Amino acid sequence: MRLRSGGVLGLGIATLVVALGAAGWAEAQSGLEAAKKRGRLVAGVKTDFPPFGYVDSGGKNLGFDVDVAHLFARALFNDENAVELVAVTSGNRIPFLQSGKIDIIIATVTVTDERKQVVEFSDPYFLSGSLLLVPKASTAKGLEDMAGKTVAVIQGAIQDKDVEQLQPKANRIKFGKVSEAVLAVKTGRAEAYVHDDIVVLTLAKENPDLKAVGKPFIPRPYGIAVRKGDMEFITWVNAELARMKKDGTYDRLWKKYFADVEANLVKP
């Protein structure tokens, strides 16, 4: 399935709330019904965040979150292809949801108190801490060694604030895409790239000139997000996640995507 992409919207969460206004919120609260009337689910997924969302060499969209989107479509329409996948980034996924470009975010959204103010989160479906990706020859052992160093983070990702708080002496450089952050480390523009443990472990496996270091810090859950106040939709999402865990679907997806690194992960 081809992904429809869009530009990054430069709206922070606080600005977003003001921009939408009360009327905008009220008009955008029926994602489940809108999907049913449309005959397809419109889901925001990532394309540069393996193994959750990525595009293979043939242009096919793959990943844990992509599979979940297809499973949701099958549950809604008895057709796993009744889903339109929209490419999102950490920076634009919430604005895309609130503007109506997508019905639902299935894109590694870390649950935070700040984000809870503007979206409804599902029950956790993954638990992730953060690690550092560094050159193979680096002597860095963790974030404590990044004082005075340049650290790559993703714009809109939780690690931007985490690095600022935990290592204020680091110089943060922000990128829109994972591939850009990885290139910064490879070319010496940054000494390390900090992101979710699962993506760092995957990147280290795929790039023999890089390695993952540190102990996972500030583990937080991922949640699926719908528009604020859309309780019908989030209740349905939670029921589907519970069903997937009960019938073994979740365990099969876990083994499919995380079997080689599951020793480093915590299952929610």
Domains in the chain with CATH codes: 4-126+221-264 (3.40.190.10), 129-219 (3.40.190.10)
pLDDT of residue 264: 73
Least reliable range by pLDDT among 25-29, 200-204, 260-264: 25-29
pLDDT of residue 262: 78
Pairing outcome for strands 83-87 and 41-45: parallel
Its pTM stands at 0.80
Q: What is the mean pLDDT of residues 104-113?
A: 96
Q: Which residue has the higher pLDDT, 236 or 1?
A: 236
pLDDT of residue 234: 98
For residue range 193-231, what is the model confidence (pLDDT) as tens digits? Answer: 999 999 999 999 999 999 999 988 999 999 999 999 999
For residue range 131-176, what is the model confidence (pLDDT) as tens digits? Answer: 999 999 999 999 999 999 999 999 999 999 999 999 999 999 999 9
pLDDT band at residue 260 using 50, 70 and 90 as cut-offs = confident
**95-132 CB burial, b ≥16 within 10 A, e <16:** bbbbbebbbbbbbbbbbeeebeebbbbbbebbbbbbbb
